[in-house]
C-alpha cells in the first residue's frame, strides 16, 4: 500500500502473479512504484493486470505516468498482460455524425486544461507532462484493454482468471452507474456549449477523463464536524455518498488459492451491500483475508450495514488525511467495536489524527485489535508478525 497522499496505490503479489491497482498521483509512481516495477522486470516478472478503479486524480495520475513511460510494444519497461479502465469509449454510444468544429474547440479547451496537479505547494513537472488520457495511451501503445480494445466496460458479474490460481470477481459498478457518469459529463460540457454526441475519438477520450479527474465532489454530503472529545457512533453520522464518479469505481474480489481480498475503490456502500447480499446469506458476514476500505475511510462510504455483511482480520486504509480529513474516526471505531472471533489488524500508510486516536481506543465489544502504519512495506496475508 504505497504512500499516495490522499489517493490509492496497491501492488499485489499473489505467489508471483502481480496486480497493480491504481497508482496514486504521478509523484507516487515516480517516487515509489517505478523502482519496484523495474526490479520485477529485471527478474523477468510482468504485471498480469493493471486496474484503474475510476477516473479520479488521486487514483489515475500515477497510471498516466506509468503508461506514458513504459515504452512501445517492441520495448516495454515491464510487460503488462491486461488493463481494466472504464472510459467513455467503454460505453456503447448512439450512432451519430462527427462533432462540429465548434464542438472540437470546446473539447480542446478541456484538454489543454489537463489533469489536476497533485496536492503540493510547488509546481510538478511530472504531472504537467500528462497531456493524454489513459484511454489514448492504452490505444497508442497497444495494450489489451478491457479484454480487447477498450470498447467494452468492466462491470458487475465479470469474471477474470490470471496465472497461478488467481481469479477476480467484479462486483461493481453496474452499467447504470457508468451511464450516470457519462450523463453528468455531457450535461456539464453542454454548459460550455458542446452539442456533439460524444462519438469515440482521442480528443473525446482526453476531454472526458481530464474533466472527470478534475470534477469536485459537489454532490457529496459534507461531513458532520465531530469534536475531538465527541463519542458519536457511525450510525449517527453516516450519510450515503452521492458522488457519481465514486459510484463508478471498479470493485472486485481477488482470490488466490485460499485467500480472498475485497478491493472497494471509492464505491458506494449501498452498491457493495446489495451485491454481497445477492450471493451470500445475510445472517453472518462474509469473511475476507483483507478488505481495502472504500474512499479512504470516509464515513460516507462505509456503513454499519456494510460492516454487517463483510468482515476481515485485516483492513487497509489509504490516506494521509489531507482531503476531507480521511479516514473518519467513526468508521475506524465501528470496525473494531464489533465482536469477532479473531483479532483485527488495521493497516494505514500514514499516521493521522484518526490513527492516533484509534490507538487510545478500547473496543466496545472487547475484541482485540491493533494499529499498524505500513510505510511502503509488504502486508502479508499469510502468517503475519504483528509486533
Q: From CA 356, how far away is CA 376, in angstroms rounded? A: 19
Question: Strand (E) positions, the chain?
Answer: 9-14, 17-23, 47-52, 71-72, 75-76, 83-85, 159-162, 166-172, 251-256, 259-263, 286-287, 290-292, 310-311, 314-317, 344-348, 369-373
| pLDDT tens readout for residues 311-328 | 999 999 999 988 778 999
Q: Give the pLDDT mean for 9-32.
A: 96
Based on the fold, state whether residues 197 and 243 are members of the same structural domain.
no
Chain mean pLDDT for the chain? 89
Based on the fold, state whether residues 153 and 279 are members of the same structural domain.
no
Q: Which of 159, 191, 215 is the last residue of a domain?
A: 215
Q: Is the pLDDT of residue 22 over 60?
A: yes
Residue corresponding to grid cell 475476507: 288
Based on the fold, state whether residues 47 and 2 are members of the same structural domain.
yes
Q: Give the pLDDT mean for 88-106.
A: 86
Based on the fold, state whether residues 381 and 309 are members of the same structural domain.
yes
Based on the fold, state whether residues 25 and 112 are members of the same structural domain.
yes
Based on the fold, state whether residues 248 and 353 are members of the same structural domain.
yes
The pLDDT score that the predictor gives to residue 199 is 86
Least confident of 218-222, 272-276, 350-354: 218-222
Least confident of 123-137, 195-209, 254-268: 123-137
Sheet holding 290-292, edge to edge: 159-162, 166-172, 251-256, 259-263, 290-292, 314-317, 344-348, 369-373
pLDDT band at 120 (very low <50, low <70, confident <90, very high): low
Which domain covers residue 86, as residue numbers?
Answer: 1-215
Based on the fold, state whether residues 231 and 210 are members of the same structural domain.
no
Based on the fold, state whether residues 194 and 67 are members of the same structural domain.
yes
| Cα–Cα distance list, 13 to 40, 274, 287, 301, 317 (Å) | 11, 29, 21, 27, 18
Question: Strand (E) positions, 194-343?
Answer: 251-256, 259-263, 286-287, 290-292, 310-311, 314-317
Based on the fold, state whether residues 23 and 129 are members of the same structural domain.
yes
CB 241 within 8 A of CB 49: no
Based on the fold, state whether residues 130 and 8 are members of the same structural domain.
yes
Based on the fold, state whether residues 200 and 57 are members of the same structural domain.
yes
More confident position, 129 or 89: 89
The pLDDT score that the predictor gives to residue 119 is 60
Based on the fold, state whether residues 113 and 250 are members of the same structural domain.
no
Number of domains the chain contains: 2
Q: Which is it for strands 71-72 and 75-76: parallel, antiparallel or unpaired? A: antiparallel
Q: Is the pLDDT of residue 124 over 50?
A: no
The pLDDT score that the predictor gives to residue 132 is 86
| pLDDT tens readout for residues 211-251 | 998 876 554 555 454 444 467 899 999 999 999 999 999 99
Q: Which three cell numbers stand for residue 73?
A: 510494444
The pLDDT score that the predictor gives to residue 226 is 46
The pTM of this model reads: 0.92
pLDDT band at 200 (very low <50, low <70, confident <90, very high): confident
Q: Which of 192, 215, 238 is the last residue of a domain?
A: 215
Q: Which of 188, 215, 242 is the last residue of a domain?
A: 215
Amino acid at each position: 500500500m504505497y504512500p499516495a497522499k490522499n489517493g490509492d496505490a496497491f501492488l499485489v503479489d499473489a505467489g508471483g502473479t502481480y496486480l497493480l491497482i491504481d497508482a496514486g498521483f504521478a509523484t507516487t509512481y515516480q517516487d515509489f512504484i517505478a523502482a519496484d516495477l523495474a526490479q520485477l522486470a529485471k527478474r523477468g516478472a510482468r504485471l498480469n493486470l493493471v486496474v484503474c478503479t475510476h477516473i479520479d486524480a488521486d487514483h489515475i495520475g500515477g497510471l498516466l505516468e506509468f503508461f506514458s513511460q513504459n515504452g512501445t510494444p517492441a520495448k516495454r519497461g515491464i510487460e503488462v498482460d491486461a488493463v481494466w479502465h472504464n472510459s467513455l469509449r467503454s460505453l456503447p454510444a448512439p450512432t451519430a455524425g462527427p462533432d462540429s468544429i465548434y464542438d472540437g474547440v470546446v473539447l480542446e479547451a478541456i484538454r489543454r486544461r489537463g489533469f489536476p496537479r497533485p496536492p503540493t505547494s510547488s509546481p510538478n513537472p511530472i504531472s504537467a507532462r500528462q497531456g493524454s488520457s489513459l484511454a489514448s495511451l492504452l490505444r497508442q501503445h497497444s495494450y489489451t484493454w478491457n479484454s480487447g480494445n477498450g470498447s467494452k466496460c468492466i462491470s458487475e458479474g465479470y469474471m477474470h482468471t490470471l496465472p497461478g490460481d488467481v481469479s477476480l470477481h467484479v462486483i461493481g459498478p453496474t452499467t447504470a452507474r457508468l451511464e450516470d457518469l457519462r450523463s453528468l459529463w455531457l450535461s456539464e460540457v453542454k454548459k460550455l456549449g458542446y452539442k456533439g454526441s460524444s462519438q469515440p475519438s482521442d480528443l473525446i477520450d482526453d476531454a472526458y477523463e481530464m474533466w472527470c479527474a478534475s470534477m469536485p465532489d459537489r454532490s457529496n454530503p459534507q461531513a458532520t464536524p465531530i469534536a475531538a472529545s465527541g463519542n458519536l457512533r457511525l450510525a449517527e453520522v453516516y450519510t450515503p455518498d452521492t458522488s457519481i464518479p465514486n459510484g463508478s469505481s471498479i470493485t472486485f474480489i481477488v482470490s488466490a488459492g485460499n485467500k480472498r481480498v475485497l478491493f472497494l475503490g471509492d464505491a458506494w456502500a449501498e452498491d457493495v451491500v446489495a451485491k454481497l447480499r445477492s450471493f451470500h446469506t445475510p445472517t453472518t458476514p462474509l469473511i475476507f483475508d483483507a478488505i481495502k476500505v472504500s474512499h479512504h475511510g470516509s464515513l460516507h462510504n462505509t456503513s454499519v450495514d456494510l460492516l454487517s455483511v463483510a468482515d476481515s482480520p485485516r483492513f487497509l486504509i489509504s490516506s494521509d488525511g489531507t482531503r476531507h480529513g480521511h479516514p473518519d474516526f467513526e468508521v475506524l471505531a465501528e470496525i473494531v467495536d464489533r465482536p469477532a472471533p479473531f483479532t483485527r489488524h488495521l493497516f494505514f500508510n500514514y499516521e493521522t489524527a484518526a490513527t492516533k486516536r484509534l490507538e487510545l481506543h478500547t473496543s466496545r465489544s472487547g475484541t482485540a485489535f491493533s494499529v499498524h502504519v505500513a510505510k511502503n512495506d509488504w502486508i502479508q496475508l499469510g502468517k503475519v508478525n504483528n509486533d
